Structure 1
Amino acid sequence: MHSILTLIVTAGLVTAQTNTNLQTKFPTATSTTGIPAARTIAAGTSFDGQMLQWDRSPSTCKDQTEGGEKDALFVLENGATLSNVIVGPGAGEGIYCKGSCTLNNVWWTDVCEDAATFLQSSGTSYVNGGGARNAADKVFQHNGGGTVSVKNFLSSKNGKIYRSCGNCKTQVARKSIFENIRAIDSLSVVAGVNANFGDSTTIKNSCLLKGRTCDIFEGNNSGKEPTKIGTGPSGTACVVRAVQTSGC
């Protein structure tokens, strides 16, 4: 973990608060377990990967070619929890959350197309701890509804940490929350959201040594590439609080 000094402004007074929850180092797996097909974690159950590296064998990674559930490493049904897993580079689609899910201390060594896709119709999915690196495009893809909450997460050499789907056939207002995020090396943006569909994201108590906080888009449901209409805090679509860009 890494300690940063966060400045909190309350009623005109500036106070210091030490944050000790920021991740700073990727783990090293002692061995790899290869699986030939996506492993399903049943609704309401938990799976502990014991900090082994799990991977698809043979690989389903086709770089940025869009895959599907069959290319995932783990598929989580509603209410499932996945903990202590290092995701290998051969998992084309990483983790599929078909309902609200919880990812505890999950690490992606080399993201292929996406690290995790959230498909819940409502509710909140949680990413607690962990980290991802080398995502050419995005780490987390939010195609369903509800909220994705990411806390104590390390990002290294990623394009985007999160994207609310900009051109899904079914569009809804999506919410995302990022707390204690540490972005090192290269990063394009923490979150891409669609203002015209009522998306909202909050980024707080974080350390962004690289990259922007938000990109604001005009999304569509036609499948066309969405139009970017702004960057940075916008009030409603993108709220930023206590984010440092140096010294953390």
Structure 2
Amino acid sequence: MSFKRTSIALAFTFLTPFAMAEVATGQYALVAKHSNLALDVTGASSADGADVIQWDYRGARNQHFKVDKLGNGYYTIHAVHSGKSLDVWEFSTEAGGDIRQWSATGNYNQQWKISESGDGFYTVVSRHSGLALDVWGWNKAAGADVRQWPLTGGDNQQWYFRPVSTDGGTVQPPKLPNRGSNCKSTGSQSVSETIRVNGGVYDGKCKTFNPTSALGDGSQNESQKPVFRLENGATLKNVIIGNNGADGIHVYNGATVENVRWTNVGEDALTVKSSGGKVVLRNIEAYDGSDKFLQANAASTIQVSACTVDSMGKFIRQNGGTKFPVSITVDNCSIANMKEGIFRTDSSASTARITNSTLDNAGSICIGKWKSCTSANISGQ
């Protein structure tokens, strides 16, 4: 048996799973956990034998599947655009056997066991072969082939079933939940001297850290000190920064910031102070900044996801007049009430992209001389 490989690099799309104990009969988009790309009949073909791949979710009918419960622990899965069944090609029992669409026959190679695997995800296993629906080679690219493989529990074999419209029209990805921090304050701590984290993990256990006047007053004064200084890949998590944000967080040589809330940013929430390493922010939220949410003062790679940011001058700003390269990606964020916009730079070497996000009164997405500044799946503006 010969297998074809397809590799088409496009932007990923993110959907959020619903937690369901059992998949009910209905129409769904099936999205791979490892890539956030949707199961797709290639080229929207209606032909028997058309290949099944993963692709950016665009709400097309060849990405919607009617899932019918057979009542014996198994399901049939039919592409909405063609009415044809998800089928193990040529009754293969081999690991790596291809998955295609074919006219419904009721045979076991068109019947699937759908089992919960945790966190709202499911595995899909062929009744015919006992092998799982699998994105071949853990490929994250749009166009990657979908085949069958022994069940490993890997993220490329875990799917979530996102209910979609049944009216025959194209639907856009729904508004995404799970943005921002889930911390509820467990107590408070005054901070009169910057907390320095050099490598390793600092877990604030959802305490509220209240900077004193020794660090600053939360104004636009550039001489304020940070509440936290993160160095050499340090991780800061489960923290609430109180009403006087001082100068927020400074990062040297990369860091991860996770489940953090800035109650009142003041000047800047986070500043990248040196090049080296990657700066990753996820499940964060910030409010009431006089200037920027995030400032890049050095060449850097910045990734922001699952964020809520409201009432700032700008979302991310590269230091004015600088020409070094900054690479920024933002995904699954809610950004509102920016006085000026989302991304700003004076550098023609820098790139920015925002995807799967909701913007409300957020100004221009791209301001300045970007080498590349793009967006996809933006709602609300």
TM-score by length of 2: 0.53
What do residues 188-228 of structure 1 show as CA deviations (whole Å, max 9, x unaligned)? 3121123x43111001000012213424225xxxxxxxxxx
Question: 1:25 and 1:149 mapped to 2: Cα distance?
Answer: 16
1:110 equivalenced with 2:245 (yes/no):
no
1:126 equivalenced with 2:280 (yes/no):
yes
Q: 1:90 to 1:57 in 2, by over 3 A?
A: same
* Higher gyration radius (CA): 2
1:12-161 equivalences in 2 (<5 Å) = 14=170, 16-18=172-174, 20-23=176-179, 28-43=184-199, 45-58=200-213, 59-67=215-223, 71-161=225-315
Q: 1:128 is matched by which residue type in structure 2? A: R
Which residue, out of 2, 8, 20, partners 2:58? 8
Number of aligned positions between the proteins: 222
Report which stretch shifted further, 7-16 or 105-114.
Answer: 7-16
Q: 1:12 to 1:159 in 2, by over 3 A?
A: farther
- Aligned-residue Cα RMSD (Å) equals 3.0
| Bigger strand fraction | 1
Aligned residue number for residue 179 of structure 1: 331
Aligned residue number for residue 245 of structure 1: 380
Aligned residue number for residue 100 of structure 2: none
Question: 2:277 and 2:61 mapped to 1: Cα distance?
Answer: 34
Asked if structure 1 preserves the Cα contact closer than 8 Å seen for 2:188 and 2:207, the reply is yes
Question: 2:202 and 2:186 mapped to 1: Cα distance?
Answer: 19
Q: Which runs of 5+ in 2 are unaligned?
A: 1-14, 18-55, 64-169
Q: Which runs of 5+ in 1 are unaligned?
A: 219-233
Deviation for aligned residue 1:125 = 0.6
> Percent identity at matched positions?
22
TM-score by length of 1: 0.79
Aligned residue number for residue 202 of structure 1: 353
Asked if structure 2 preserves the Cα contact closer than 8 Å seen for 1:216 and 1:237, the reply is no
Q: 4+ residue stretches of structure 1 with deviation over 4 A?
A: 9-16, 24-28
Asked if structure 2 preserves the Cα contact closer than 8 Å seen for 1:192 and 1:217, the reply is yes
Question: 2:295 and 2:61 mapped to 1: Cα distance?
Answer: 38
Q: Residue 8 of structure 1: SS of its match in structure 2?
A: coil
Q: Which has the higher contact order (CA 8 A, sep 6+)?
A: 1
Q: 1:56 to 1:199 in 2, by over 3 A?
A: same
Deviation for aligned residue 1:12 = 10
Question: 2:263 and 2:212 mapped to 1: Cα distance?
Answer: 16
